[in-house]
Amino acid sequence: MLNSLISLCFVTLFCVSAAAASRTKIYSINGHEGKFVSSPPAADGICRSMVQSQGYICHEHTVTTQDGYILSMQRMPKARSGKPADIPPVLLQHGLLMDGITWLLNSPNESLAFILAEKGYDVWIANTRGTKYSLGHTSLSPNDPAYWEWTWDELMAYDVTASVKFVHDQTGQQKLHYVGHSLGTLVAFAAFSQDKLVSMIRSAALLSPIAYLGQMPSQLARSAVDAFLAEDIYWLGLHEFAPRGDAVAKLLEDICQKPGNNCSNLMSSFTGQNCCLNSSRTDIFLEHEPQSTATKNMIHLAQMARKGTIAMYDYGNEDDNMNHYGQPTPPVYNMTKIPKDLPLFLSYGGKDLLSDVKDVKLLLGNLKDHDSDKLVVQYIKDYAHADFVFGIQANRDVYDPMMAFFRLH
């Protein structure tokens, strides 16, 4: 039961920092440092396992990034009735330790991908590098430490860029709507702040928006960040962070023993008290999630939480930063540089311990000069981090207002 609860907690952004050192301990004991532990990609893919079984047409695609990662992508071009999409494309970008199945886990009348397809949208589902169906590379194997040498900087610069361009090109140069959750919002904010992707984006809906993490109130996540656990595991040679397995339980037991940490409900302790999850879908979730990421990615997120800034990866000393960036400190992503006429729909929750209200307000302060008719901000008092993608009422509370926003743009 503990392992199931632990795995379930990884639906969210920062539990992974807590798990990192656990894998270090297990592999140090068993002598398997550096071993690739992700599940091998299944032959059937997301279309067959999650979409076609519900009666929808679904096509599998692959996208190769400029740095050689081969990503899977799914397209749902028709409603279940067979009616072709007649509304511009929408790209769905998942968060950390998840993949595109995020948007398909609930029933068709509760899952965003199905809902959008029924409304006539041409739905595209992205899967970032390192996840089960995006393990390919033109020259590297996931067994190679170099395969895992990336952070969300690269997800922004390569994965999201390649995915957006692919949809744009495959749909006759149509501008597309973008929907991101959690880490999927962070990479979008970073790209927009550098004026990337904007020419191909019709609008962006950003759920549980992550830009700043400095005021994150989750005590368990904060304990993991402050202990520099991700840094420890990286320097021990474990460059892939795989959240499945007994290693997670062992580390969380250590963290839970620290004063002030309440582990009676791991999901709530990490993400906030989610109001509206469908507990009957837990087994389906655990069949597919959580997914691996790079340990270096976890270090980057921990840096953000400690410093309260949104900047590129810090290599830890001025010389290395100079070699990578030409300056002694990492460049900052300036949120005030997001184009003021880019249509944005932001939805955040009052119970979210990861996309904290104070951090979201800091972000909104940077957007204070945004064109008023191009920015919609929705606050849902009872929502926590997972409610935005797995909540049984999200179709009414979040997706209906979001689609109304899309229709305006």
Residue 352 designated active-site: yes
Helix (H) or strand (E) holding 89: strand 87-93
Tokens of 346: 């932001």
| 182, 203, 218, 355: the active-site residue | 182
- Spatial separation of the C-alpha atoms in residues 300 and 314, rounded to whole Å: 7
Environment class of 317 (CB within 10 Å of its CB; exposed 0-12, middle 13-18, buried 19+): exposed
Cβ neighbours for 335, distance < 8 A, ≥ 6 positions apart: 189, 193, 211, 310, 363, 366, 367
Task: Say if CB 92 and CB 238 are below 8 A apart.
Answer: no
The residue from 352, 359, 387, 397 that is catalytic is 352
Q: What span, in angstroms and rounded, lies between the C-alpha atoms of 391 and 383? A: 9
d(CA 84, CA 60): 17
287/275 Cα distance (integer angstroms): 23
Phi, psi of 199 (to 5 degrees): -70, -15
Contacts of 66 (CB under 8 A, 6+ apart): 158, 161, 162
SS3 266: helix
The verdict on whether 300 is a catalytic residue reads no
For residue 290, whether the previous peptide bond is cis, meaning omega lies within 30 degrees of 0, is yes
Nearest C-alpha neighbor of 55 from the set 75, 74, 78, 72: 78
Residue 126 tokens, joined: 């992205």
Q: Is 133 within 8 Å of 41 (Cβ atoms)?
A: yes
What token pair was written down for 208?
């549980």
Q: Which of 218, 355, 385, 397 is catalytic?
A: 385
Active site residues: 182, 352, 385
